Chain A
Amino acid sequence: MTAISRAEIEREGTRVDAIVRGRESRRAAASAWVAAAPFSWLAPLTIAAAWGAHSLAERPYSSPGIVWAAAAPWALLLGASAVACGRARIRELRSRSGLVIIDRELHSGDRLLTADELLEAGVRTPFEQAAVEDARAVLERAAQHAPAAEPSAPFPRRALWMPAAASVAAALAACLPAIVSPQIQLEDSKTVAALPAPGSRPAKSNTGAEPQTPPPPEPKPRRPQDLLAAKRPEERRASDPGEARARESAGKSGEGRSADASPSRHPSDSLGVPSSQAQPSTQAPPPKPNAKKPKPRTPKPETESTKRKPMQESGATAGRGVGSGSSKNPGATDWASKDQVTQDEEPPLSEDADIDDEESEQEARGGLQPSLRDRRPAVNRDLQIGFGNQPSPDANGRGGPSEQKKSRGVASLVLGVPIPDHVKGQPNPGRTKITQERVEPHAEEAAPIVATERAVRTAPIGKVARFETEQWLHEVIRSFFLRITDPSPQKP
Chain B
Amino acid sequence: MSQTQATADAATARAQAERFRAVYSKIQRELGKVMVGQDEVVEGVLSALFAGGHVLLEGVPGLGKTLLVRTLGRAVDLAFSRIQFTPDMMPADIQGTMVLVEGPGGTHRLEFQEGPLVANLVLADEINRATPKTQSALLEAMQEKQITVGRRTIALKEPYCVMATQNPVEQEGTYPLPEAQLDRFLFKLLVGYPKEQEYAAILERTTGTADAEVAKVSNGAEILELRPVVRAVAVPEHAQRFAIRLVMATQPGGEYSTKRVNDLVALGSSPRGAQALLLGAKVRALLAGRFAIAEEDLRAVAPAVLRHRVQVNFRAHSEGVNAEQIVREVLSKAAPAA
A-B contact pairs, 24 of them (CB 8 A): A3-B7, A109-B294, A109-B296, A110-B236, A110-B292, A110-B338, A113-B238, A114-B239, A117-B238, A125-B234, A126-B9, A126-B10, A126-B232, A127-B17, A128-B291, A130-B17, A131-B234, A131-B236, A131-B291, A134-B290, A134-B291, A480-B317, A483-B318, A489-B60
Q: Are B338 and A130 in contact (CB under 8 A)?
A: no
Instruction: Determine if A479 is an interface residue (Cβ-Cβ < 8 Å).
Output: yes
A483: B residues at CB distance < 8 A: 317-318, 320
Write the nearest CB–CB distance from A138 to chain B, whole angstroms.
11
**Dominant secondary structure of chain A at its interface with chain B:** helix
A111 to B318, CA, bound (A): 44
Q: Which of A100, A113, A123 has the most CB of B within 10 A?
A: A113
In the complex, A21 has a CB within 8 A of chain B: no
Q: Does residue B169 face the partner (Cβ distance < 8 Å to A)? A: yes
A118 touching B236, Cβ below 8 Å: yes
- For the complex, what is the distance from the CA of A484 to the CA of B212, rounded to whole Å? 40
Residues of A within 8 A of B (CB): 1, 3, 96-97, 99-100, 103, 109-111, 113-114, 117-118, 121, 123, 125-131, 133-134, 476, 479-480, 483-484, 487, 489-490, 492
Q: Does B12 contact A (CB under 8 A)?
A: yes
B contacts, CB < 8 Å to A: 1, 3, 6-7, 9-10, 12-14, 17, 60, 168-169, 190, 192, 232-234, 236-239, 285, 288, 290-292, 294-297, 314, 317-318, 320, 322, 324, 336, 338
List 5 additional A-B contacts (Cβ < 8 Å) besides A96-B338, A99-B338. A3-B7, A110-B338, A117-B236, A129-B9, A490-B322
Known A96-B338, A100-B338, A114-B236; judge A127-B291 contact (CB<8 A).
yes
Residue among B6, B17, B169, B324 with most chain A CB within 10 A: B6
State the CA gap A114–B290 with chains docked (Å): 11
Query: Once bound together, how far apart are the Cα atoms of A127 and B286, in whole Å?
Result: 10
Complex CA distance for A134 and B290, rounded to whole angstroms: 8
Residues of B within 8 A of A117 (CB): 236-238
Assess whether A490 is in contact with B238, with CB atoms less than 8 Å apart: no
- Report B-chain residues with C-beta under 8 Å of the C-beta of A127: 13, 17, 232-234, 291-292
Cα-based distance from A323 to B192 in the complex (angstroms): 72
Which residue from chain B places its CB closest to the CB of A111 in the assembled complex? B290
Q: Are A113 and B236 in contact (CB under 8 A)?
A: yes
Complex CA–CA separation, A126 to B297 (angstroms):
20
Query: How distant is the Cα of A127 from the Cα of B17 in the complex, in angstroms?
Result: 9
Identify which of A1, A96, A480, A492 gathers the most chain B CB atoms within 10 Å of its CB: A492
How far, in angstroms, from A480 to B318 measured CA to CA in the complex? 4
Task: Pick the 3 closest A-B CB pairs, nearest first.
Answer: A126-B9, A110-B294, A126-B13
Kindly provide the distance from the CB of B11 to the nearest chain A CB, expressed in whole angstroms: 8
Q: Is the CB of B338 within 8 A of A128?
A: no
CB pair A131–B318 under 8 Å, yes or no, is: no
Q: Which of B233, B236, B238 has the most CB of A within 10 A?
A: B236
